[in-house]
Amino acid sequence: MKLISQNYGKARVRVLKVFRDGTTHTIKELSAKVALDGDFEASYTQADNSLVVPTDTMKNTVNVLAHEHLGHDNEPFAQALAGHFLRKYPQVKRVTVELDERVWSRLSVGGRPHAHSFSQTDRARPFTSLVLDANESRLESGVRDYVILKSIGSGFAAYPKCELTTLPETHDRILATSMSARWLWSGEPVSFQAANAAILQAMIVPFAENYSPSVQATIWEMGGAALKACPEISQITIAMPNLHCLLINLAPFNRENRNEVFVPTDEPHGQIEATIAR
């Protein structure tokens, strides 16, 4: 019997930091996961804990380094975390850091953004992922559960059909998805926050403006727009599961449904993914 692979760490370490600029505050909330890979085999096979960094220590490290290093960009904080464990513990050979962000937006009071009151209404979750060892650094940023919809300008036709095909062709359908995307950094932008926002904004343009003959074709256009918008990324992976909107049959009630009333559903859904590189 042998141990094939192993890693361990601390997950869902939640931290919220308040940045104060006079009376104006900004909120940053993260859920961090840190995983260590290295010389820990004896802890599994020989019950030897002499090299095991306690996960409670890892949690404390996230909190202390958040106080010292967490700013408006998440990526430098991930680099500070991973670098700390790699430098401090020689038994650690690889560190993986994942940061999921909860976005807080300012409340509007009297028609003006409030200085220190916020709401959490956006389902989309920005994230950062870093794998660091002595030879390689792989830094990715992205977003999960970014729900977007267009009510026109989408179709699906000219596909192969067989005796089990029931889907009718259409050139007028709702296109909705809960998109997840992650992009790989090959350089460092002046501002990760600004670059991430530019990437998302660039991707939305072909989604909204171009006719979509398929989700696959739209992913290709969105990925190309992201690469064009940010020269510091080398590739992007996009997953766009369908949020289907099924036309309701109103004929039994002597009514014609002219693409107006639908049943939204996400089960089962098409799962379309692609990685696009320069």
* Pairwise CA distance, residues 273 & 95, whole Å: 27
Q: Which CATH architecture has domain 8-111+118-135?
A: Roll (3.10)
- The catalytically annotated residue of 10, 28, 59, 150 is 10
* Pairwise CA distance, residues 41 & 74, whole Å: 32
The tokens describing 161, both together, are: 């059909």
Using the structure block, give the residue that is written with the tokens 């085999």: 41
Q: What is the pTM of this model?
A: 0.90
- The catalytically annotated residue of 28, 59, 150, 244 is 244
pLDDT in tens, the chain (278 residues): 999 999 999 999 999 999 999 999 999 999 999 999 999 999 999 999 999 999 999 999 999 999 999 999 999 999 999 999 999 999 999 999 999 999 999 999 999 999 999 998 778 999 999 999 999 999 999 999 999 999 999 999 999 999 999 999 999 999 999 999 999 999 999 999 999 999 999 999 999 999 999 999 999 999 999 999 999 999 999 999 999 999 999 999 999 999 899 999 999 999 999 999 99
Q: Are strands 244-247 and 262-265 parallel, antiparallel or unpaired?
A: antiparallel
Nearest to 182 by CA among 145, 220, 144, 215: 144
User: Taking the mean position of all CA atoms in its chain, how far away is CA 215?
Assistant: 19
The dihedral through the CA atoms of 263, 268, 270, 273 has a sign that is positive
Told to judge if 69 belongs to the known catalytic residues of this protein, a careful annotator would answer no
* Pairwise CA distance, residues 112 & 94, whole Å: 47
- The catalytically annotated residue of 33, 55, 93, 114 is 55
**DSSP letters of 82-120?**
HHHHHHH-TTEEEEEEEEEEE--EEEEETTEEEEEEEE-
Domain boundaries, the chain: 8-111+118-135, 145-277
The phi and psi torsions of 71 (rounded to 5 degrees) equal: -125, -155
The pLDDT assigned to 259 comes to: 87
Told to judge if 55 belongs to the known catalytic residues of this protein, a careful annotator would answer yes
Told to judge if 67 belongs to the known catalytic residues of this protein, a careful annotator would answer no
3-state secondary structure of 218: helix
The pLDDT assigned to 276 comes to: 98
Fold topology of 145-277: Urate Oxidase (3.10.270)
Contacts of 1 (CB under 8 A, 6+ apart): none
Using the structure block, give the residue that is written with the tokens 């859904």: 269
Contact criterion met (CB below 8 Å) for 61 and 84: yes
Contact criterion met (CB below 8 Å) for 92 and 36: yes
Contacts of 220 (CB under 8 A, 6+ apart): 274, 276
Q: Are strands 137-150 and 175-185 parallel, antiparallel or unpaired?
A: antiparallel
3-state secondary structure of 209: helix
* CB hemisphere CA count around 157 (13 angstroms): 10
The tokens describing 137, both together, are: 């650094």
The dihedral through the CA atoms of 88, 99, 236, 230 has a sign that is negative
8-111+118-135 and 145-277 in the same fold:
yes
